């Protein structure tokens, strides 16, 4: 005599992980742009831009977690 088959149950899928928040300083790019200044005392602005690593998120693009 064979045992009666149980109906197949649905497997639960793991809930989707929320995406990390974007860094407020670089908008999730990981880089920021600064205007180039020329001159020792007055610091004249030129039309050029310089990119650099975002110091808030260290280039990851994710908002840092607040420490409590």
Per-residue pLDDT tens for 10-39? 778 888 888 888 998 898 899 999 888 888
pLDDT band for 7, please (50, 70, 90 cuts). confident
Do the beta carbons of residue 21 and residue 51 sit within 8 Å?
no
pLDDT band for 51, please (50, 70, 90 cuts). very high
Do the beta carbons of residue 36 and residue 50 sit within 8 Å?
yes
The gap from C-alpha 27 to its chain's centroid, in whole angstroms, comes to 8
What are the domain boundaries of the chain? Answer: 20-68
- Residue 9's contacts (CB-CB under 8 Å, 6 or more residues apart) are none
Nearest-angstrom CA–CA distance, 57 and 31: 9
Q: What is the pTM of this model?
A: 0.54
């Amino acid at each position: 005599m064979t045992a009666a088959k149980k109906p197949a149950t649905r497997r639960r899928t793991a809930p989707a992980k929320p995406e990390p928040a974007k860094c407020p300083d670089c908008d999730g790019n990981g880089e920021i742009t600064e205007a180039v200044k020329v001159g020792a005392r007055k610091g004249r602005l030129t039309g050029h831009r310089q990119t650099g690593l975002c110091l808030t998120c260290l280039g990851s693009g994710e908002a840092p977690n607040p420490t409590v």
